[in-house]
Amino acid sequence: MQDKLRRRYQVQKEVTRNGYFEGEIALSKLERLGQLLHPGDGGHDDRKISVTFEFVRDEYDIPMIKGQLRTSLELECQRCLQSLDMPLELEFELMIDASDELLRDSSLDTIYSDDGFIDIFEVIEDELILAAPLVALHEDSSCNEHWQASASEPEAAAKENPFAVLQQLKTTD
């Protein structure tokens, strides 16, 4: 059963009923993510993030949240400082309030609830920040005409081997 998207969810209630949620979130509601966007992009206010997620229990009876995100971020190319459209599609799977012992044995991450509630906007924002590249660059390296490609770097001068003198001491016996 699909329900309307809201910001906060009570974990136990949603896990018990296997809550499934789908909807869109305005990119403008995610302030930390907004700091990563291209500063000249005034149009990110109307961009949306398509969100689908569900609350489940894993085989160890640990509450989990599984979901998918789809959006397009307008980042700043670090080579030419112009906008770069970065489509993102990702899936996430997080344990909720998992113990330290379980975390050591698992390949999954965990989120911690705030008195039994989680803020889904924070979860989505964290996942998108982690998925964004550290250094955004256009694929075409000629986006900045003043930038020189590293292929034209001069070759390193051949250095004399400091141990070459030892070669003369080598005997043929």
Question: pLDDT value at position 63?
Answer: 93
The mean of the pLDDT values for the chain is 83
**Which pLDDT tens digit goes with each residue over 70-114?**
999 889 888 888 888 889 999 999 999 888 888 888 888 889 999
pLDDT at 152 over 50: no
- Report angle CA 69, 41, 32 to the nearest 5 degrees: 50
pLDDT band of 1, cuts 50, 70, 90: very low
Backbone angles phi, psi at 63, to 5 degrees: -65, 140
- With a pLDDT cut of 70, the percent of the chain lying above it is 87
Question: pLDDT value at position 55?
Answer: 94
pLDDT band of 137, cuts 50, 70, 90: confident
Question: pLDDT value at position 140?
Answer: 78
Residue of 33, 109, 29, 108 whose CA lies nearest to 74: 33
Across 14-43, average pLDDT: 84
Residue of 50, 52, 27, 25 whose CA lies nearest to 38: 27
CB 16 within 8 A of CB 113: no
Across 29-55, average pLDDT: 80
pLDDT band of 147, cuts 50, 70, 90: low
Residue 25's Cβ-count burial label (10 Å; 0-12, 13-18, 19+) is buried
User: Out of 42-46, 72-76, 137-141, 160-164, which region has the weakest mean confidence (pLDDT)?
Assistant: 42-46
